Amino acid sequence: MKNPYPVVLNLANRPVLVVGGGRIAARKIQALLEANAKVTVISPSLSRKIDPKKVHWISREYLSNDLTGYSLIFAATGDLLVNRQVTEDAQDNQWVNDISNKYDSNFFNVAVVRHEDYVIGISTTGKSPSAAKKLKERIQAWLVKGN
């Protein structure tokens, strides 16, 4: 992605779709719930880290018409072909993040540092999530020290 444009979204009470219910989907879902999004999950099973009482869980495989009504979509299955199908089924007015292929995504998540009134986003545009995580930890430590 060349020259990305960073934004902070207000997802409160907005419908967000996560296709997949595994470990990575669980991390995405946790952050979405913290943002007060209305999360729907389509997956035959859920990670133990996902509370089915906090999401609308549709317990089945993904179908091509499942994207209707969602502006923000995460393809977070363990199946590359399903993730690819999600991105292909998306319309031009839908934002899709394929966690398995940054080239199929039209947005990325950033590592986020929250401290008092600060919200700091860190991105490597998908090149090195581990580097973004390390930088996030360093910034968190710096803020906690009061610098």
Domain of 51, CATH number, reads 3.40.50.720
CA nearest neighbour of 45 among 54, 29, 57, 27: 57
Asked if 74 and 25 count as a contact pair (C-beta separation under 8 A), the reply is yes
Specify if 8 maps to a domain: no
Q: Are 83 and 20 found together in one domain?
A: yes
CA dihedral 45, 16, 126, 141 (to 10 degrees): -90
Mean pLDDT of 3-14: 90
Q: Are 73 and 135 found together in one domain?
A: no
Neighbours of 89 (CB within 10 A): 19
Q: Are 118 and 100 found together in one domain?
A: no
Work out how many domains the chain is built from and give that number.
2
Specify if 10 maps to a domain: no
Tokens for 82, please give them.
Answer: 């399903």
Q: Which helix (H) or strand (E) holds 42?
A: strand 38-42
Q: Are 79 and 118 found together in one domain?
A: no
Q: Which helix (H) or strand (E) holds 23?
A: helix 23-34
Q: Are 96 and 117 found together in one domain?
A: no
Q: Are 100 and 117 found together in one domain?
A: no
CA 98, CA 141: separation in Å to the nearest integer? 31
Domain enclosing residue 135, as ranges: 111-144
Asked if 124 and 108 count as a contact pair (C-beta separation under 8 A), the reply is no
Q: Are 100 and 32 found together in one domain?
A: yes
Kindly report, residue by residue over 118-141, the tens digit of the pLDDT: 889 998 877 888 899 999 999 999
Residues in CB range of 139: below 8 A, 6 or more apart: 113, 120, 122
Asked if 32 and 39 count as a contact pair (C-beta separation under 8 A), the reply is yes
Q: Are 94 and 134 found together in one domain?
A: no
pLDDT of 5 = 84
Specify if 3 maps to a domain: no
Residues in CB range of 72: below 8 A, 6 or more apart: 9, 11, 14, 16, 17, 37, 94, 95
pLDDT of 36 = 97
Specify if 91 maps to a domain: yes
Q: Are 97 and 115 found together in one domain?
A: no
pLDDT of 16 = 98
pLDDT of 147 = 63
CA 127, CA 45: separation in Å to the nearest integer? 30
Specify if 33 maps to a domain: yes
